[in-house]
Homo-oligomer: A and B are copies of this chain.
Amino acid sequence: MGSDNHPGPDVAGAVLAAREFGDEIILVGDEAAVRQELDKQNPAGLPIHIIHASQVISMTDKPSEASRSKPDSSMHVGLNLVKDGQADAFVSAGNTGGILAVAMLHTLRRIRGIKRPALGVIFPLGNHPMLTDNGANADCKPEYLLQFAMMGSIYVERVRGVDRPRVALISNGEEEGKGNLLIKETIPLLLESGLNYVGNIEPKEFVQGKADVGVTDGFTGNVMLKTAEAVASYMSGLIRQEIKASPVTAVGGLLARPAFDRVRRQLDPDEVGGAPLLGVNGVVIIGHGRSNAYAIKQAVGQARKAVERDIVNAIRAGVAG
């Protein structure tokens, strides 16, 4: 109920997922609105149910306030289904801050020993590296970053099938002495962690695939993700504008269109799925607010893998030992 164009793409994506994976899907939200969308999708025979929720946390709601004042939001109802074992995972394209607040403070809560849950985002680049934290924690301590590294490594190893993922700290330089205080104090913790820590890398090396998990505080991580998205979008616009600027280049652009389409598909965040919330007692995958049906289906597929590969218990074991 909280995505930009809800509940159309969300319901359509759930139907795609039920068809492709055969999974049972519970749609949580305003029953009439969801039913109306579902009926458009020819859902007969698919294992899809609706559970009503009377409230909605919207994109403009303040997360902590709304998470308290709307206890029957679709986020509360959905996350409580996971908490109570009636669902295996929660997928949403709603207000990220809202999901974090409802999951961490009111429903699933933190895994015992996890100091701060973190958002992991898969970058749609070469080797699909994960960057974590991506905005759940603006201010971090070295112990948090150590746990982000551990959780990211477990996720990438189990869900993406990467053996001994290479973990790196994102820094402003690779040389000794570079980095801010947080980075410098995190280095010894990673060296002793048993993780496959490969050192500090700059954004360039991250983009080039020199690590499978990039670790950062949530402020820097979020600025980095948003800078990457902004520059990619700016460049696309500039190229489009300059190609249209003369008839010859416009013809060139037309002929080259299949190449541009391939580039667009490769850089499409929907292809790599949503962002897992790592460190809570359940599988939570958060999609872009503008997710289309395909993106929702991909996010369900990702949630499915995280459940199959038992991510939550792996993180519990990781933090215990």
Interface of A is mostly: helix
Cβ–Cβ < 8 Å partners of A308 in chain B? none
Give chain A's interface residue range (CB within 8 Å of chain B): 35 or more
Chain B residue with minimal CB distance to A248? Answer: B255
For residue A262, which residues in chain B have a CB less than 8 angstroms away from its CB?
242, 245
Which of B125, B220, B227 is A234 in contact with, Cβ under 8 Å?
B125
Q: Is the CB of A256 within 8 A of B249?
A: yes
Q: Which one of B179, B227, B254, B258 contacts A203 once the chains associate, using CB atoms below 8 Å?
A: B227
Whether, in the assembled complex, A5 has its beta carbon less than 8 Å from a beta carbon of chain B, the answer is no
How many copies of this kind of chain does the complex include?
Answer: 2
> Within the complex, what minimum Cβ distance (angstroms) separates A105 from chain B?
15
Q: A160–B230 Cα gap in the complex (Å)? A: 24
- The 8 A-B pairs of least Cβ separation, nearest first, read A252-B255, A252-B256, A242-B259, A172-B222, A138-B180, A249-B259, A203-B227, A207-B230
Q: What residues make up the interface of A, taking CB atoms closer than 8 Å to B?
A: 62, 125-126, 135, 138-139, 170-173, 175, 177-181, 183, 202-204, 206-208, 217-220, 222-224, 226-235, 238-239, 242-243, 245-246, 248-249, 251-260, 262-263, 266-267
